[in-house]
Amino acid sequence: MTEARKPGFSDCNNATLRRAARSLGRFYDDALGPTGLKSTQFGMLFQIHISDEPAMGTIAEALIMDLSALGHTLKPLIRDGYVETFPDKDDRRVKRVRLTPQGQAKLDEALKLWSVAQRQFENKVGAEQAAKLRAALDAVADLDLEMPAAAPSN
């Protein structure tokens, strides 16, 4: 610890997490490059794929993302014909989402490249270690964090 410690380092859990996300994101993005999909888009297609014509709100909840953000994120995928939406039969407020045949095909294509990247990653850190990390991250993501209501003087 001669100087200011090497890399990023604040002990901030959030900063550390984002830093890792940028790093890993670049790797998966590179891997998926040939498909023209970003790793985020791949993740979105996959999520839709494993769900049963989910409502937007359902996806947003599963991915812990803002509903409006989801809407924005979906646009390029809809524009490119990978995803389509349709109204729910019973509740006209609800918009459901599904992959188009092209979307399914693109996902299949991407899965091949993804699995290579995934394997590459697990070879480096160890499959078990990776699984533990994912479990820890899921646990963190699902934490019910709340600020102390910032009420020291009220």
Q: How far apart are the C-alpha atoms of 42 and 44, rounded to whole Å?
A: 5
CB of 104 to DNA, least distance (A): 18
CB neighbour class for 96 (10 Å; exposed up to 12, middle 13-18, buried from 19): buried
- Provide the phi-psi class of 99: left if phi over 0, else alpha when psi is between -120 and 50, else beta: beta
Q: How far is the CB of 57 from DNA (least distance, A)?
A: 3
Phi, psi dihedrals of residue 130, rounded to the nearest 5°: -60, -45
- Are 55 and 88 a contacting pair, CB within 8 Å? yes
Nearest CB to a copy of itself, comparing residues 75 and 134: 134
Q: Which is nearer to DNA, 36 or 126 (CB)?
A: 36
Q: Which residues bind DNA (CB under 7 A)?
A: 18, 22, 25-26, 29-30, 38, 40-41, 44, 55-58, 60, 64-69, 71-73, 76, 79, 85, 88, 91-96
Tokens describing residue 148: 């102390």
Member of 148, 151, 153, 154 binding a copy of itself (CB under 8 A): 148
The total of other beta-carbon atoms located within 10 Å of residue 62's CB is 12
Least Å from the CB of residue 153 to DNA? 22
d(CA 151, CA 3): 38
Nearer to a copy of itself, 75 or 119 (CB): 119
Q: Does 91 bind a copy of itself (CB under 8 A)?
A: no
**Unique residue bearing structure tokens 């599963």:** 62
Of residues 128, 147, 126, 130, the one with CA closest to residue 138: 130
CB 119 to a copy of itself: min, Å: 9
Instruction: State yes or no: residue 55 binds a copy of itself (CB under 8 A).
Output: no
What is the Cα–Cα distance from 137 to 68, expressed in whole angstroms?
24
Q: How many chain residues interact with a copy of itself (CB under 8 A)?
A: 65
Which residues bind to a copy of itself, rule: CB under 8 A?
4, 7-25, 27-28, 30-31, 34, 39-40, 42-43, 46-47, 50-52, 62-65, 114, 116-118, 120-122, 124-125, 129-131, 133-134, 136-143, 145-148, 150
